Structure 1
Amino acid sequence: MRNAVLAATALLVGLSAGVFFAYSTSVMLALRKVEDRTFIDVMQKINTAILNGWFLTAYVGALLLAVAAVLLHLAPGHRAPLPWLLATLVLYGIVFVVTAALNVPMNDTLDAAGPAAAIADPAAVRQAFEGPWVGWNTVRTVASAGSLLTLAIALIRA
């Protein structure tokens, strides 16, 4: 059971880390080159599209399985990977908190600006969103990658 939970946690943390990494290394770099209304329109569509079962299963499931992995390794004789699992949980917790407290509210604000074609000053809307969103996504990318790395170490120690 412990090994199955560790493997499933690695899969879901890896998938989540991959999403944040993809934004950092391609999506936002490509969108940097488009005009303001296109940027806003595409980000609004992405923010709607990402709320799907596949992403949410990986994103939320990774947190739940990381908690389960910690709990399963509290028993005497199974604690060798525990410090690494705790680090995994803390780092992934950072991803979760940054997403909920910062990136999602920024997404909501961008959506509240209305259709891109109707925004009076799209440059100002973009400027208020893009830099902070990219910065916090970088935090999510680094934290999720760190979470995956510490989980890999935990797997070796298990």
Structure 2
Amino acid sequence: MRSVVLAAATLLVGLSAGVFFAYSTSVMLALHKVEDRTFIDVMQKINTAILNGWFLTAYVGALLVAIVAVLLHLPAGHRGPLPWLVAAVALYAVAFIVTAALNVPMNNQLDAAGPAAAIADPAAVRRVFEGPWVGWNLVRTVSSAGSLLAMAIALIKA
């Protein structure tokens, strides 16, 4: 059971880390090259589209299953991967907290600006959003990638 949970946690963390990595290495780089209204419109659509069962299962499930993996490795005789699992949970928690405390509120603020076509100063709306969002997404990318690496080491140690 411990091995299955550890493998599932690694998979889910990897999927989530891949989403953040994809934004950092392609989505936001491409959107940086479009005009302001297009940027706002596409980001608003992405913010709606990402709220789906597939993403939320991987994103929330990664943290929950990783915590279960830690708990399953607490008993004596099964603690080999425990330090790596604790590190993985802590690193993924950083990504989770940054998302909840920073990226999601920025997404909500962008959505509250209204339809891109009706925004009086789309350049100002974009300026407030894009730089900080990209920066915090980089934090999510690095922390979730670190979590994935720690999970992989935990699998080797198990």
For this structure pair, what is the TM-score category when the shorter chain's length is used for normalisation? over 0.9
User: Is 1:15 matched with 2:15?
Assistant: yes
Quote how far apart the aligned CAs of 1:56 are. 0.1
Could you report, residue by residue, the CA deviation over 1:29-85 in whole angstroms, capped at 9, with x for unpaired residues?
000000000000000000000000000000000000010000000000000100000
Give, in whole Å, the separation in 2 of the partners of 1:108 and 1:153. Answer: 36
Task: Tell me which residue corresponds to 2:83.
Answer: 83
Equivalent position of 2:67 in the other structure: 67
Partner in structure 2 of residue 39 of structure 1:
39
For structure 1, the 5+ residue unaligned runs are none
TM-score, normalised with respect to structure 2? 1.00
In structure 2, distance between residues paired with 1:10 and 1:150: 9
Task: Find out whether 1:148 has 2:148 as its counterpart.
Answer: yes
- After TM superposition, give the deviation of residue 94 of structure 1 in Å: 0.3
Find the counterpart in structure 1 of residue 6 from structure 2: 6
- Matched residues in 1 for 2:98 and 2:75: separation? 31
Q: How many residues align?
A: 158
Alpha-carbon distance in structure 2 between the residues aligned to 1:98 and 1:21: 15
C-alpha separation between the residues in 1 aligned to 2:125 and 2:6?
42
Output the amino acid matched with 2:125: V
Deviation at 1:7, TM superposition (A): 0.7
Query: Once the two structures are superposed, what CA deviation does each residue of 1:112-134 show, in whole Å capped at 9, x if it has no partner?
Result: 00000000000000000000000
Amino acid at match of 1:73: H
Q: Which runs of 4+ in 1 moved over 6 A?
A: none
Q: Secondary structure in 1 aligned to 2:128? A: helix
CA distance in structure 2 between the partners assigned to 1:95 and 1:145 by the alignment: 10
CA RMSD of aligned residues (A): 0.3
Output the CA distance in 1 between the equivalents of 2:61 and 2:52: 13
Report the identity percentage. 82
Question: How far 1:147 moved relative to its partner?
Answer: 0.1
Give the aligned residue type for 1:29.
L
Q: Which residue matches 2:54?
A: 54
Cα separation, 2, equivalents of 1:128 and 1:16? 26
Which letter does structure 1 place at the counterpart of 2:70? V
